[in-house]
Amino acid sequence: MRRYKSLNNLVGWLVFAVATLTYLLTLEPTASYWDCGEFIACSYKLLVPHPPGAPTFLLLGRLLSLLSFGDATKVPLLINALSALSSSFTVLFLFWIITMLAKKLVLRRPGMADDRTLEPTSGQTWLILGSGAVGALAFAFSDSFWFNAVEAEVYAMSAVCTAVVVWLMLKWENRADEPDSDKWLILIAYAIGLSIGVHLLNLLAIPALGFIYYFRKNEHPTLLGSFLTLLISSIIVGVILVGIIPGLPSLAGGFEVFFVNTIGLPFNWGIIIFLLLFLTLIWMGFRYAANAGNRLLNTALLSFVFILIGYSSYLIVPIRSSYHPTINENNPEDVLSFVSYLKREQYGDRPLLYGPQFNARPIASKEGAKRYVRKGDQYAEAAPRTEYEYAPEDKMLLPRLYSASPEHLYQYKKWVNVREDVKPTMGQNLSFMFRYQFGHMFWRYFLWNFVGRESDVQQAGVVTPFESKNGLPERVADSKAYNNFLALPLILGLIGLFYHTRRDGKNAFIVGLLFVFTGLAIVFYLNQPPIEPRERDYTFTGAFFAFAIWIGLGVLALAEGLRTVLKADGLRAGVATLLGLLIPGIMVAQGWNDHNRSNRYISIDSAKNMLNSCAPNAILFTNGDNDTFPLWYAQEVEGIRTDVRVAVLSYMNTDWYIDQMKRPSYKSAPLPISMERTQYVEGTNDYLPYVANPAVKEVNLKEFISLVKQNSPLLQVSYGEGGPTLLSFPTSKFFLPIDTVAVQKLGIIAPERRRHVVPVMEWDMGKGAIEKKNLAILDILATNNWERPVYFGTTVNSQDYMGLEPYFQLEGMAYRILPARDPDYNPRSGDDGYIVKDQMYDILLKKFAYRNLDNPGVYYDENSQRFPANYHDKFARLANAYLAVGNTAKAKEVANKCLALMPDAAIPYDFYTPQLIPALVQGGEKVRANQIMDTLTNRAQLALAYYTSHNPALHDQEIQQSLITLQSVARAADSVGDQARAAKSFGLMQQYMPQQQ
């Protein structure tokens, strides 16, 4: 037995070493896009990220970051390595899970029993270890799991939590008859408590754990017993998910409000009284269990306590928030705001079992639960959130078609034949659930991991085993993310599933339950809308983990199939293992180049470049995760341009964020917002509707802000009898008087633009509502007096520009608002922002960093290629600005520099690249210009031919991009007199445009 145990440990650690080496070699050296920049920054300084936070991850990330020894550039590598190590340990525990299950099969001891004393033969040992290695390595090199392993996100650590609790439960199952076996259950409870501070996905393993317990305690399980086990384990999940995580803090908040407001005690005394009472009840429970000799109650109470101990990592959230750190999302500094943070209230909710469908209209509204905020020495009632009521006939069971967003309605029609004015049928509802939510958003991802993935293009399909690349667009055929596993992982996994089911039904059922709850149950619970900003496959790695168990057990089935050919156990085990190892071998060979993020710096360089676009002490408005989180990383970790205040527009619709913007941060002074909190507190001025007043032709911005601050009756409008009273704006025409002398003295206007300075800025806001974020920006413009530079990132949605584009000056990757009107502004051209050529040249060619954008060996996925398109645009804008003044040499230099920094082999040409054509042609580079136009035309033609014949509804974005590319080529060719190429591109556009109408 000792020999088997030693080999099991040794091979497990070797598999761990292989996974670790793989992940460390392919690790991203800095912060990836999406949430990674935020998590690295918040780990490094223990800040407060977006709800519901991940305090366990942050604490461990902080510990690893200490190994940087003051070198901030090493911090992201170390925190990314936390995910790599978490993934490696997941692989290690998966190996041991597979070997525990395989041992039962090889020794023909299915079910639940202590098999520790049974020693496999040498051949059996290597077969068991081979199955573990194949299954664990197949999972290690699976697409979604590998993706999570090389970046600072919570999903890798969530996976190791799941692996640990399953492994611990199987360890308990082998020791269930021992007097102290309950200690394993208590350890599992602690692991679950810790996992709450990472991600809630781990809770979905509890039903599988419940059945291990039930099968071990009942040699002859019944249908009723199984149903009760599922019910009880589901209740445990609900108790943790609702009763413990937000429930206990909510109860503490109720005590706090009562004892402060009613009894008159100081703040926090209600929480203290709640804790004393709560601890007393727990002590009484332990005392009763001891006196009654109730082991089950005692174990349950201990498990409950250890879940709370693990969950206590969340205490860092209100503790750190109370110190008002620079990143403090939702400001959860007291128990009441902490509850809102835990419940993710800012994200709203989706109907699950019963609710309104997409064309339901509210028939009434009511106030939601009471909300309280600190005011003076008591808690005052805050404006409650509005809850809408719907007619019973507008509600339905399992509302899958529920979103009334116009974009979502358009997307629904791609999957089911619905009409906006007709209530969807249950058949349409279920069709969408099975076709899109289960099929497209789960089974497609499943097949990505075990059959093959077409590309990194969003909505990419599955590669079938013998699929040809003929006819595929270059973006797909030559993509490093084109991975074909020949369906071998799927086939071996299905063989393992059938083998496991036949030989050990109980354990096969448990693995199946783990697969269902960490996969299909999540799909059902999430009730996903018909379009997502990115692929969500990382959510389902728990299900892929479960399937990898069957891939490992498939090796046993292979060995069984070889029994008639190979009689020797050792030889049969070796051949089966080698055949099985071909699968992770194919997976790592196919997946290495598109999972290798080493030497990729694009996200952080783009953040630094945007910050370095700004003048000192600037205000920079951004929007979205990828616009903002890399900037947070650059400032918080590397200390880049902390004088620039990054203001996130989506957050500026909240009072807590405006509060933060009105405080200093590092080298940045508070934002010049003159409104008091009463003018922007939640429920006040959330939006100001347009209500035309014919007597008001235009409004002075400063006077408008003053009226808003006074809550002036001149702006008030009422909606119906007893309806809300809101402030409005009476005209879309705004103006702002300019002290031109003072502006000239500030030195913010380039000499060539002095004639552009206007005595009055005039613009049209449009007739949409003014949201709170827009109101804050207008307040800054009215109050700032041009003392601080104000910028919009060029990636911000143009709707947030509020009609100010004529006053934009393009500086690098940001638009600066200046009291100087661009005389050549044309709203139809799409070229916003006047260019001061020498300034722009200095920024693009001397200040900006473009590390490895010229290296074809570095993998840039679809998301990473979006930002370089902005570079292409800005270089082209500068080159054409030089052409406009006759400086052909400079225009050619800029165009060639752009193509040298980002050659097509590394960063493929995009629809902005043709804008460089005039500079190349006039600079004598006609051959190169023709090559660019021909390349883009051919690529667009192939892409259109493919996507219009393969799920065109799912790839309308790729189709539109190809059409825009052809349009851009046609314009460029026409501008240089190349009518043949212009006609070809235009003809292709005409050929495919009717299909888009």
The number of residues making up the chain comes to 997
- What is the pTM for the complete model shown? 0.93
Phi, psi at 36, each rounded to 5° = -65, -45
947, 921 in Cβ contact below 8 A? no
Q: Rounded distance, CA 684 to CA 265, Å?
A: 30
pLDDT attached to residue 997: 44
- CB neighbours of 679 closer than 8 A, spacing ≥ 6? 685, 708, 709, 711
Owner of token pair 């199987």 = 170
Instruction: With CA atoms as reference, report the closest residue to 133 among 4, 8, 3, 5.
Output: 8
Instruction: With CA atoms as reference, report the closest residue to 875 among 829, 920, 921, 931.
Output: 920
- CB neighbours of 316 closer than 8 A, spacing ≥ 6? 46, 55, 58, 59
Whether the ω angle into residue 52 lies within 30 degrees of 0, i.e. cis, is yes
Distance of CA 26 to the CA centre of its chain: 21
Q: DSSP labels for 403-449?
A: ---HHHHHHHTTTS---TTSPPPHHHHHHHIIIIIIIIIIIHHHHHH
Q: Rounded distance, CA 144 to CA 539, Å?
A: 9
Strands 790-793 and 733-737: unpaired
Query: Residue 654 carries which side chain, given as an amino acid letter?
Result: T
Strands 619-622 and 790-793: parallel
Q: pLDDT digits over 120-152, tens only? A: 999 999 999 999 999 999 999 999 999 999 999
Query: Residue 757 carries which side chain, given as an amino acid letter?
Result: V
- CB neighbours of 941 closer than 8 A, spacing ≥ 6? 988
Q: What is the DSSP letter of 468?
A: -
Helix, strand, coil distribution of the chain in percent, nearest 5? 60, 10, 35
pLDDT attached to residue 723: 62
54, 69 in Cβ contact below 8 A? no
Q: Which residues of 365-382 are buried (b: 16+ CB within 10 A; e: fewer)?
A: eeeeeebbeeeeeebeeb
Q: What is the DSSP letter of 48?
A: B
Q: Rounded distance, CA 279 to CA 284, Å?
A: 9
Ranges of beta strands (E only) in 295-360 are 354-356
pLDDT attached to residue 442: 95
pLDDT attached to residue 391: 87
809, 818 in Cβ contact below 8 A? yes
454, 429 in Cβ contact below 8 A? no
Strands 699-700 and 733-737: parallel
Q: Helical H runs in 378-434?
A: 406-412, 426-432
Beta bridge partners of 835: 810
Q: pLDDT digits over 409-444, tens only? A: 889 999 999 888 888 999 999 999 999 999 999 999
Q: What is the DSSP letter of 831?
A: -
> Which residues of the chain are under the pLDDT cut of 50?
996-997
